[in-house]
A and B are shown apart, each in its own frame.
Chain A
Amino acid sequence: MIEVKNITKTYGAGDTAFQALKGISFDIQDGEFVAIMGPSGSGKSTLMHILGCLDTPTSGTYKLDNKDVSKMDDEELADIRKDKIGFVFQAFNLLPRTTVLRNVMLPLIYAGVDADEREARAEKSLLAAGMTEAHFAHKSNELSGGQIQRVAIARALVNDPSLILADEPTGNLDTKTGEIVLGTFQKLNEEHGRTIILITHEPDVAEHAQRIIHIRDGEILSDKKHPQRKARHHAQ
């Protein structure tokens, strides 16, 4: 479902130009759980922004569900994000002063889904992400770090996207809470067949994936299957 061919990304121009991605190619199939690893500054976030249609590559093509999105304009990209992609960021995932339920409904609000349906869908994906009903009416600033990330996962799921992208989703969490969040991703992948791309620089985190792509200085170093993925954490 993802076909990336020879993607480059250059920031700036002239003397200050910096090539963050130097020709990246890979395919990702439906239902895969891929971890992208690499040291800081290697271009992971840059790649994720392109995969998530937040940005376009300088050259190369990116096909999502057989549609070339690499040359689309802002508004078309916004529509692709709305329909096909769910994001989980490292920090600042939820709107402040807004309830958990409404945060999760937000993509549906922008998609114009009517009130009854979006509430039902938001509740369903909150439960799937391991949240309990007791928290639905909480404001986002009344949650723990692990709960925030799970609400963010619920929001990423709610529009039934082809692809869930997570950029260091456990970067701000302690190991135990991080394990719970990663377990949530793993469950979504194993039980619901979601395609997940997870970005991290921690090998431990990558252990949860079926396939690990290593990048360094904007180039792919290795792209390996990872048969013995870590056992899922069942603490929830």
Chain B
Amino acid sequence: MNINDTIQETYVALSANKVRSSLTILGIVIGISSVIALVSIGQGATKSIQTSIQSIGSNLLVITPGAQRSPGGFGVSSGRGNAKTLTADDATAIASVANVSAVASEVAGRYQVTAQGTNTNTTVTGVSENYPAVRNVQIADGRFVNDSDSNSLTKVAVLGPTTVSDLIPDGTEPVGQTVRINGIQFKIVGVTVAKGGSGFTNADDAIYIPLKAAQRFLSGNNYVTTIDVQAASADATTQVLNDATQLLLDRHHITDPTAADFSILNQADILASASTITTTLTYLLGAIAGISLLVGGIGIMNMMLTTVTERTREIGLRKAIGARRSDISRQFLIEAIALTVIGGIIGIALGGAISLGVNATGLLTTSISLSSIAMAFGVSAGIGIVFGWYPARRAASMNPIEALRYE
């Protein structure tokens, strides 16, 4: 029997019981589409977490004051970030460690900010000139604050795009206007490029002012809340981390490393553990969807076994007029494969639509890879073969006389 005839036979057989065929196909559609949709959502989540971690800079080490987190628990690390142990001089010293390409200091705090008739509560960060380079911040309009602003205690500010729309909702040019931070007037000199709101903190809802202005007018002391260190390369981060730790221990006269009054976070470590978590989650989602695919496959087998029983006399007749075992088993196997492949194609389309729908909500940027489509297609054909094989074999091995006698 050639391909054309086989397709025709399959069409006749499957369309004979349209409701049953459609329900069986639906099982596969649900299985395949949930695999495609969930995996693409999982991969989208992985990607968005990775980009939001990467958007804070590259090859970055973040030094914060306060005790090293002990494995014992979170309680002992209270005061981390608020402790006053790091200074701008520490930052200057770290700049001379080998393989450090840039160092930036920050003094951050949340303050009430007002403009003409509007107000908001946002993070105000006093930063040094290197900050945009180290933390991957770009200027959309105007300029960034620099060290000469800092040294002369000039009251200038750079706003994130979210803060701009909160404070100046009428859309007029923000550069040149003034805002009041904690009651003190600052002149806007620039606006940063939007980074996107995803991630743990919203980098677009922020105000940057010169470091020394922040220390003098807002925090009222000479400490810094964060030192950002950028290593020259990804390979150098471990060495920079070790050297910077030793340098700060020496400067703070601490001999026991576990008693350090600061902690250093390595961005690469955060990225790696986040990736592990999201990859595991993606596998988990895929596995749950895989279970529904398996159930769909069992549906195929169930339907094919019913069909074989119902068509026993037909099988007997076909054998009597010269069909070989292979003709019969091929016919039923192809019916099963046709069901799963049709289900697979619809499932891929539906899964893609769900994934695009999630994309359209703006929560996640999902992506469907060609490989996952190819895999879904292969899996659905495979399910047809695996679950169609037994019914097909049962049909092929029927004795023609007994099959013809079957009532």
Chain A: minimal CB distance from B395 (Å) = 14
Across the interface, name the chain B residue whose C-beta is closest to A107. B321
Q: Which residues of B contact A87 (CB under 8 A)?
A: 320-321
Cross-chain contact A79 with B401 (CB below 8 angstroms): no
Number of residues of chain B lying within 8 A (CB) of chain A? 21
Task: Check: B324 CB closer than 8 A to any chain A CB.
Answer: yes
Select A81's contact among B2, B16, B321, B404, beta carbons within 8 Å: B321
Interface presence of B1 (CB below 8 A): yes
Q: Which residues of B1-41 are within 8 A (CB) of A?
A: 1-2, 4-5, 12, 16
A81 to chain B, nearest CB (A): 5
Q: Smallest distance from the beta carbon of A228 to chain B beta carbons, Å?
A: 34
- Name the contact of A78 in the complex, choosing from B2, B313, B325, B401 (C-beta under 8 A): B325
B342 on the interface (CB 8 Å rule)? no
A49 an interface residue at 8 Å Cβ cutoff?
A: yes
> A75 interface residue, CB < 8 Å from B?
yes
Known: A92-B313, A97-B12. A54 touches B321 (CB 8 A): no
**Residues of A contacting B321 with CB < 8 Å?**
81-82, 86-87, 106-107, 110, 155
A18 to B335, CA, bound (A): 40
**A49's contact among B4, B12, B401, by CB below 8 Å, is which?**
B401
Quick check: A54 and B401 within 8 Å, CB to CB? yes
Is there contact, CB below 8 Å, between A159 and B317?
no
Cβ contacts B291-335/A at 8 Å (1 or 0 each)? 000000000000000000000011001111111110100000000
Chain B nearest CB: distance from A54 CB in Å?
5
Residues of A contacting B324 in the complex (Cβ-Cβ under 8 angstroms): 75, 78-79, 110
**B363-401 with Cβ < 8 A to chain A:** 400-401
CA distance A81 to B317 in the complex (A): 11
Closest Cβ neighbor of B405 among chain A residues = A45
Please name all residues of chain A whose beta carbon is closer than 8 Å to the beta carbon of B12 when the two chains form the complex.
97-98
Q: Are B325 and A81 in contact (CB under 8 A)?
A: no
Q: Which residues of B contact A55 (CB under 8 A)?
A: 401
Chain B residues contacting A82 (CB-CB under 8 Å) are 321-322
- Whether the pair A74, B1 counts as a contact (CB closer than 8 A) is no
Query: Using Cβ atoms and an 8 Å threshold, which residues of chain A touch B317?
Result: 89, 92-93, 95
Alpha-carbon distance between A159 and B12 when the two chains are bound, in angstroms: 23
What secondary structure prevails in chain B residues at the interface with A?
helix
Given contacts A95-B314, A98-B12, contact A109 B5 (CB under 8 A): yes
User: In the complex the two chains form, is B325's CB within 8 Å of A75's CB?
Assistant: yes
The answer to whether B313 and A81 have CB atoms under 8 Å apart is no
User: A14 at interface (Cβ–Cβ under 8 A)?
Assistant: no
Residue of A52, A54, A87 with highest tally of chain B CB at under 10 A: A54
Cross-chain contact of B2 among A75, A83, A112 (Cβ < 8 A): A112
Q: Shortest beta-carbon distance, A71 to chain B, in Å? A: 17
Which A38-91 residues have a C-beta within 8 angstroms of B?
49, 52, 54-55, 74-75, 78-79, 81-83, 86-87, 89
Please determine whether B320 and A106 come into contact, CB atoms closer than 8 angstroms: no
Q: A75 — which chain B residues lie within 8 A by C-beta?
A: 324-325
Contact partners of B1 in chain A: CB under 8 A: 109-110, 112
A111 on the B face (CB < 8 A) = yes
Nearest opposing residue in chain A for B5, CB measure = A109
Given contacts A97-B12, A98-B12, A109-B1, contact A81 B320 (CB under 8 A): yes
- Which of A52, A82, A95 has the most C-beta atoms of chain B within 10 angstroms of its own C-beta? A95
B323→A110 contact, CB < 8 A = yes
CB-based contact B404/A78 at 8 Å: no
For residue A73, give the distance in angstroms from its CB to the closest CB of chain B: 11
CA distance A111 to B1 in the complex (A): 7
| Contact call B322/A107, Cβ cutoff below 8 A | yes
Bound-complex Cα distance A109 to B324 (A): 12
Query: Which residue on A lies nearest to B396, using beta carbons?
Result: A74
Pairwise interchain contact A74-B401, C-beta atoms closer than 8 A: no
Closest to B15 in A: A97
Determine the distance from Cα of A107 to Cα of B327 in the docked complex, in whole angstroms. Answer: 12
Nearest opposing residue in chain B for A83, CB measure: B322
CA distance A115 to B4 in the complex (A): 10
Q: Which of A89, A97, A109, A110 has the most CB of B within 10 A?
A: A109
A110–B1 CA distance with the chains assembled, in angstroms: 5
Complex CA gap A86/B404 in Å reads 15
Chain A hits for B319, CB < 8 A: 54, 78, 81
User: How many angstroms between the C-alpha atoms of A115 and B317 in the bound complex?
Assistant: 21
Which of A93, A97, A98, A111 is within 8 Å of B322, CB to CB? A111
Beta-carbon contact of A54 and B320 below 8 Å: yes
| A-side contacts of B327, CB under 8 Å | 110
- In the A-B complex, the 3 residue pairs with the smallest Cβ-Cβ separation, listed nearest first, are A82-B322, A110-B322, A107-B321
Q: A89-B317, A95-B314, A112-B2 are in contact. List 18 more A-B contacts (CB 8 A).
A: A49-B401, A54-B320, A54-B400, A54-B401, A55-B401, A74-B325, A75-B324, A75-B325, A78-B319, A83-B322, A87-B321, A95-B317, A107-B321, A110-B318, A110-B323, A110-B327, A155-B321, A159-B322
Interface residues of A (CB under 8 A from B): 49, 52, 54-55, 74-75, 78-79, 81-83, 86-87, 89, 92-93, 95-98, 106-107, 109-112, 115, 155, 159
Question: Which residues does B use to contact A, with CB under 8 Å?
Answer: 1-2, 4-5, 12, 16, 313-314, 317-325, 327, 400-401, 404
Q: Name 15 interchain pairs, CB-CB below 8 A, sorted by A.
A: A78-B324, A78-B325, A81-B321, A81-B322, A82-B322, A83-B322, A87-B321, A92-B317, A95-B314, A97-B16, A106-B318, A110-B1, A110-B321, A110-B322, A155-B321
